[in-house]
Chains A and B, each alone.
Chain A
Amino acid sequence: MSDTARENIMRKLAAAVADRPAQIPETGALPIPALCQAEKIEQLKHFMQSVRGEVHVVKAKDWVSRLQDLLRPRALKTLLYGPATPHGKILAAGWPPEDPGLPRLVPYAAPVEDFKSELFQLDAGITGTLGAIAENGALILWPTPEEPRLISLVPPIHIALVDAGNIYCNFSDALTAGSWKAGMPTNALLISGPSKTADIELTLAFGVHGPREVLVLVLEA
């Protein structure tokens, strides 16, 4: 059925565009602004905070202890992470094993089929990022075998680590600089803050199905 449909559709489409000129003009492009790193960090902070994202700029060597400071007041029980990632290893190495004031680290080490019930009960998840986009305050996530997608979706708090040197001016900038077209991951993601909706009387409300809190640590060298 699908093959006949394909044939019929393609035949109709080919006939429909037969009158088109061979040369179709190319599209112009918007210029990519030239911003320095400090400006990009400021823009990122501004836009994320405007949609209730929380952004902290920290020294790269201090991020684990800074994270612990930020998490203590929240009294979380569990923190999901990808143990085989570079930042996952640093996190585990710097985490005290029996501290009641901090969440227990939970590695995402098994396929979701074996892990689903537990996953849906966890308090927070931490991921790295490919970078971020200053112009609209978006994180770029490229999930991998070591860092599955659901870490940044299921637990109600998402903690994200951004290398300050990987903040792009805008989305076009990120696509070109990163040569995305050479190979896309299973599910690349832009995340600009906590989940939200305005479906009821256009009243904005946060924390629907995705995380209700997004906590970003921008790591400076």
Chain B
Amino acid sequence: MAETTGFDFAKNIRHALGDQQLRKNFKFAMGSMIQKRRLIFADEAEFEQLRAIGSAIRTRALAKLPELLARLEARCTQNGIQVHWAETTAEANATVLEIMQRHGATRMVKGKSMVSEEMHLNHFLETRGIEVTETDLGEFIIQLAGETPSHIIVPAIHKNKEQIARLFQEKIPDTPYTEKVEELNAIARRTLRRKFFDGQVGLSGVNMAVAETGTLCLVENEGNGRMCTTVPPVHIAVMGLEKVVEKLSDVPPLLRLLTGSATGQLISTYFNMITSPRRPGEKDGPHEVHLVILDNGRSRILTDPQFRQTLQCIRCGTCLNHCPVYTRIGGHAFGHVYPGPIGEILTPQMVGLREAGVLATASSLCCACEAVCPVKIPIPGLIRELRNASYTATPTGRVPGEGFKRNLPETLVWKAWEKVNRTPALNAVVTRLAGLMGDKAPRLGPLKLWSRYRTPPQVARRSLHAMTRAQGVDDE
């Protein structure tokens, strides 16, 4: 399904930077997440060892992906889980709808799933007469507000408790205004308990799927995930095809990395490992479990030896937390399902550079994300590669939309820069001229943008080249 066009990144950024409440909310939240993560991974040497293991597990899984997916499907099927494949989000949506219609189901309860956001599943089902209730508290809040998630792990992080209190009062019947967090949670619990009870189909994502045993693993703190996957008679799990791991023994290190990086916890409240629907003699659990495996461009990303590292991601969200850009503009400004550093590399690859290549400019390449990524994705390097792809004169099909930014003025600027810096005599002339201008260079182009917020740099009258010559520093 095509992303909505009319994505104006510059406008979104301006709007976000001007929203003082938003900036305050994000600054507090990201600072808190950084601190919690630092505490849980206090031993840096241990963290490096652990994430080397995490990276190896994910690399190995991607290297063997078709084999592991085949094994996963075989085990799941053997255990009674019905496996479906979808190349596009349209196919995935159609599959979910078909399962619901087969059961005459009109009420779905949902656990948090970023893949379901990719699918725009809620809108798809709601326009076909199906009631979809988000049960993760953060997702529940933004569903009431009619918004999309602004963070991978804490979707409502952009809202403070006053905003949530007002929202609950306005949108949930018979609800008084209260800012007390315990009371807000109690309201959500009461409202959603009824929905779990009445739910006909439960939908969840998958944090990791173990090929060895055909097991779907889910991480959660609230208990809504267990409710969605145990109470209704039908459970549908949707999963990006890269989420498979080879062995059960791969799970503990990844789980430790995921919970530590995502929320600064040693372990989540619940870790569910689902291997089959209700077995004979069992008294609860869904009678049917479905797994929908979604491609949506991942198979193409796997093709490129460098870009395939993007697929190592375990969706912990810590790159967002550490990003100085994300902290200041929040998740909605990115205009697509995945924000932050991972969003900057994943989105252009999924929807093309023409639509989303601009996201790759929203980075100072500070490398804070790379330093904390639990599976060692070289995010800054991949941002750089996307910039290269944006300007390349020789497309190779690595990313859709290569060369879209190619333009004469910029090409000439860099060609001139190259010439000057390759030609010592020319460099000397340019340096001398700039030195004569000092800080009086005309404020055009980059200098104009620079000067809006800073005094322009003062080019020295005498360059270091000239000084070293004058001081008799050896040339060779």
What is A's interface to B at a CB cutoff of 8 Å?
Answer: 1-3, 5-6, 8-10, 12-17, 19-20, 24-30, 47, 51, 108-112, 115-116, 120, 135-138, 143-145, 148-150, 153, 170-172, 175-176, 180-181, 184-203, 205, 207-211
A148→B221 contact, CB < 8 A: no
Residues of A within 8 A of B60 (CB): 24-27
Q: A28-B56, A181-B213 are in contact. Are A200 and B181 (CB under 8 A)?
A: yes
CB 8 Å contact bits of B19-47 with A (1 = contact, 0 = none): 00000010011001100000000000000
Is there a chain A Cβ closer than 8 Å to B132's Cβ? no
Residues of A within 8 A of B274 (CB): 186-187
Q: A24-B64, A145-B282 are in contact. Are A205 and B215 (CB under 8 A)?
A: no
Chain B: CB-nearest residue to A13 = B66
B284→A210 contact, CB < 8 A: no
Distance to closest chain A CB from B424 (angstroms): 42
- Cα distance A210–B50 in the bound complex, in angstroms: 30
B65→A197 contact, CB < 8 A: no
Within 8 Å by CB of A148, from B64, B283, B299, lies B283
Residues of B within 8 A of A201 (CB): 25, 28-29, 160-161, 181
B270→A190 contact, CB < 8 A: yes
Known: A16-B303, A195-B222. 14 other contacts (CB 8 A): A5-B295, A12-B302, A112-B283, A136-B266, A145-B279, A149-B230, A153-B226, A170-B252, A176-B249, A184-B215, A202-B154, A205-B185, A208-B224, A209-B227
Within 8 Å by CB of B156, from A51, A111, A199, A203, lies A199
20 contacts between A and B (CB under 8 A): A10-B70, A13-B69, A17-B65, A19-B305, A25-B60, A30-B49, A30-B50, A30-B253, A120-B193, A135-B266, A138-B271, A149-B285, A184-B213, A184-B215, A185-B275, A190-B270, A192-B267, A199-B155, A208-B224, A209-B224
Most chain A CB atoms below 10 A, which of B33, B85, B227: B85
- Cα distance A196–B231 in the bound complex, in angstroms: 19
A27→B57 contact, CB < 8 A: yes
Distance to closest chain B CB from A174 (angstroms): 8
Residues of A within 8 A of B268 (CB): 192
| B residues 79-97 touching A (CB-CB < 8 Å) | 84-87, 91, 94-95
Is there a chain A Cβ closer than 8 Å to B74's Cβ? no
Q: A30-B53, A137-B267 are in contact. Are A5 and B91 (CB under 8 A)?
A: yes
A138→B267 contact, CB < 8 A: yes
- Cα distance A197–B192 in the bound complex, in angstroms: 14
A25→B56 contact, CB < 8 A: yes
Distance to closest chain B CB from A6 (angstroms): 4
- Cα distance A47–B259 in the bound complex, in angstroms: 15
Chain A: CB-nearest residue to B80 = A186
Chain A: CB-nearest residue to B162 = A201
B277→A186 contact, CB < 8 A: yes
A150→B230 contact, CB < 8 A: yes
- Cα distance A210–B56 in the bound complex, in angstroms: 34
